[in-house]
Amino acid sequence: MSGPRYTNLVESLPATVPFVGPEEQERSRGTSFAARLGANENVFGPSPKAIAAMQAATDDVWMYGDPTSHDLRQALAKHHRVGMENIVVGEGIDGLLGYLVRLMIGPGDAVVTSDGAYPTFNYHVAGFGGVLHKVPYTDDREDPSALFTKAKEVGAKLVYLANPDNPMGTWHEGPALARAQDDLPDGCLLVLDEAYVEFAPEGTAPNIAIDDPRVIRMRTFSKAYGMAGARVGYAMAAAELIQSFDKIRNHFGMNRVAQIGALAALQDAEWLAKTCADVAAARDRIAEIAASEGLHTLPSATNFVAVDCGKDGDFARRVLASLVSQGIFVRMPFVAPQDRCIRISCGPNHDMDLLAQAFPRALSDARK
């Protein structure tokens, strides 16, 4: 009896998961983490109004979600002062990146990203047969000039850039990024991942006309709005590109309860402001914990902080392993020299206290 006949492309790919989730690590450890500070989730949680709206909507969960996400798109259009035709809602930025790559990339097509940047994008590119070209970070920041130069060299169809960046937390000022965009080669689309932009200083988001055909911007309710588990993201771009998503997206992929929760979260500006203030305070606390051990942190415009462990990646991995063994879930960048750091998500005072207790021992363990 023969098995399924996979495509040649799928046959050539390894079975992989871009991230090993904390749940899998907890199963391996046989116990739960005391502090979950590794997945860049918003530990402060969503707006109580969003929770209430989702709870009220559960009686109607027998219905499919609106395949056009009309009410949410209408509210987002008003929020960003663009047209509804300029917005598509999808299953988080991850889902939208998959759709975008499917729209744009076929076997052999060139794509440019930074070495060590968000790996899920790379996963999608490989899954559709694209060829990834990577450039290094410069001073722990993604380098727009290097990215766009490489795009010209290889004839790239897509360039991925996160602002603010994951995993380093660094960022570019909006005007500088807008100017750099003029170096994009013809026919190349900039994928601007702005998942963390609500945490960033004012002016981080570049002023780009919504009908500019060179750029698509990705936003999410997973980070500042505290709804990572609901999987709600959206993209903004010229109407023609947004309309193209209807050719291939899963029209019933959006959870009805999540749509309603995202709408309520968007309307609670007071909770968003409180969350951003709590995150800023936690960033300062992480910096203080690192400084008390003679280490420094990278400036961050996100809800996590990269702590420079002061040595190489092997040392940082030992620090991370000790923290995990003590019940503190954290992650780290994958690529040198950024892998000299560990990445710690912001959390409430209780979690920061646990981190402060565990961190000195982690460094001591790593030095043995």
Confidence (pLDDT) at 188: 97
Is the Cα torsion angle 137, 142, 144, 148 positive or negative in sign? positive
Mean pLDDT (the chain, rounded)? 96
In this prediction, residue 2 has a pLDDT band, given cuts at 50, 70 and 90, of confident
Confidence (pLDDT) at 19: 80
Confidence (pLDDT) at 368: 87
| Rounded to 5°, angle at Cα 198 from 194 and 201 | 100
For residue 192, pLDDT over 70 is answered with yes
Spell out the CATH class of 19-45+270-367.
Answer: alpha beta
Instruction: Give the residue extent of every domain in the chain.
Output: 19-45+270-367, 48-267
Structure tokens at 368: 């043995």
Domain 48-267, what fold?
Aspartate Aminotransferase; domain 2 (3.40.640)
For residue 159, pLDDT over 80 is answered with yes
For residue 18, pLDDT over 80 is answered with no
In this prediction, residue 87 has a pLDDT band, given cuts at 50, 70 and 90, of very high
Confidence (pLDDT) at 3: 85
For residue 152, pLDDT over 90 is answered with yes
Same topology, domains 19-45+270-367 and 48-267? Answer is no
Contact 305, 346 (CB under 8 A): yes
Is the Cα torsion angle 356, 361, 365, 368 positive or negative in sign? positive
For residue 17, pLDDT over 80 is answered with no
Residues pairing with 111 in the sheet: 132, 158
**Cβ-count burial of 17 within 10 angstroms (0-12 exposed, 13-18 middle, 19+ buried)?**
exposed
In this prediction, residue 24 has a pLDDT band, given cuts at 50, 70 and 90, of very high
Confidence (pLDDT) at 284: 98
Contact 236, 80 (CB under 8 A): yes
Q: Which of 20-24, 292-296, 324-328, 349-353 has the lowest mean pLDDT?
A: 20-24
For residue 217, pLDDT over 90 is answered with yes
Over residues 15-21, the mean pLDDT reads 82
The label of the residue with tokens 């570049």 reads 206
Closest by CA to 8, choosing from 118, 150, 108, is 108
Q: pTM, whole model, 2 decimals?
A: 0.96
Q: Give the phi and the psi of residue 157 in degrees, each rounded to 5.
A: -90, -25
For residue 277, pLDDT over 90 is answered with yes
Give how far Cα 255 sits from Cα of 13, 57, 90, 198, 290, Å. Answer: 30, 11, 10, 24, 40
How far is residue 85 CA from its own chain's centroid?
24
Q: Name the percent of the chain lying above pLDDT 90.
A: 95
228-272 pLDDT tens trace: 999 999 999 999 999 999 999 999 999 999 999 999 999 999 999
Over residues 293-310, the mean pLDDT reads 98
The label of the residue with tokens 């490489």 reads 150
Residue 280, CB-side half-sphere exposure with 13 Å CA sphere: 10
Confidence (pLDDT) at 1: 66
Confidence (pLDDT) at 77: 98
